[in-house]
Amino acid sequence: MEFSEELEILRKAVASLVLKEIAPIAEEMDRTDEFPHWIWKKLGDLGVLGVTIPEEYGGTGLGPVEQAMVTEEISKYSAAIAVSYAAHSNLCAHNLYHNGNEAQREKYLPGLCSGDLIGALGLTEPGSGSDAVGMNTTARHEGDYYILNGSKTFITNGPIADVLIVYAKTDKDKGAHGITAFIVEKGYPGFSVSKRLEKMGNRGSVTGELIFDECRVPVENVLGQVNKGIKVMMGGLDIERVVVSALALGIGEGAFREAVKYAKERSQFGKEIANFQLIQAKIADMYTNLHAARMLTYEAASEAAKGKKVTLQAASAILFTAETATKTALEAVQIHGGYGYMLDYPVNRYLRDAKLYEIGAGTSEVRRLIIAREILGVKTF
């Protein structure tokens, strides 16, 4: 798939920043699990933190294809930065623009686009993952505020976020149709981070558990309409899957890059292992699957850019691409042999990073259900 001249310029700019600023620290991030705050402003200066946000709010006014491309380029060297970027630019800023009112857009979007603010989304709870609408966090209306009580877990950027979109039940009797989305600031009374979670992969992207204990959120911070949060939630899922598909694609491409490089460098039995047919077969399969994943990802992104419903395409793209990324990383480790199991080589990081995307943003099992239901015409809600 070829990019337009303008998009290719953006891709090269992102790739240049990644090679200069992110690639050199990727291994250190994995070891220390520390988020490099300074990189956020650099991404903001490049104009990619608000890539889908109109220029009047500080963004670049582009679309899903561009956001997928930026995510892919970052994740080729650091899935950790890429997932924090996706949570910020897509789950928070993109959703806030599409569902917020003018006052909310003017208040939050410029800071999110510039990198002065870090965004996140709070949906998953300790007792509700794939069953997101089964959340237990509640919000009751008291005068000029909604009072939130409950907790969220596995929240990317949660411990460092300045602005979060948080879902809560405002009418428990209505089930999925009693959910409301709120814009929560980190300084609100009753909001706290209970702990930072340590992960096997994507280390350096900060993940945490959030607590809402009589958290006071102004009524003007309702995102969308009261009891219409399911619309906000479902409306953003397709684009989220496209972006995450691009993230997984980048991981697979990074693992593939390292595998090809190593195969050309490593000698056994008097010649480079790239000359062995079984290694060549692995390389061929990796390339073919990644190429197919790329087509699926950008087809979904292109259709979304036209304003079309892409539930089927997006679910198919992330299902195939996430599983392809894991398989590719596994083969990259295999090609590296014993060295692939050592922390000195990045392929083990790519493998640990890749596995998340068969779990997060909807498991592979749930994605298969979505695909089947779209084909069969079965409604979820």
Residues marked active site are found at: 240
The maximal CA–CA distance of the chain, rounded, in angstroms, is 79
Phi, psi of 223 (to 5 degrees): -95, 115
Sequence-distant (6+) residues with CB within 8 A of 56 are: none
352: which 2 tokens?
A: 């640990």
Rounded Cα distance between 173 and 229, Å, is 15
* Cα 19 to Cα 36: distance, rounded to the nearest angstrom: 15
Q: State the Rg of the chain over Cα.
A: 21
Return d(Cα 140, Cα 361) in angstroms, integer: 28
Are 183 and 191 contacting, i.e. CB atoms less than 8 angstroms apart? no
Residue type, 174: K
Cα–Cα dist 128/111, whole Å: 31
Distance CA(74)–CA(94), nearest Å, equals 18
Is the four-CA dihedral 258, 261, 267, 268 of positive or negative sign? positive
Q: How many CB atoms lie within 10 A of CB 2?
A: 6
| DSSP symbol at 198 | P
β-pairing, 222-223 vs 267-268, is unpaired
- Rounded CA gap, 107 and 32, in Å? 34
Q: Which of 55, 73, 72 is nearest to 17 (CA)?
A: 73
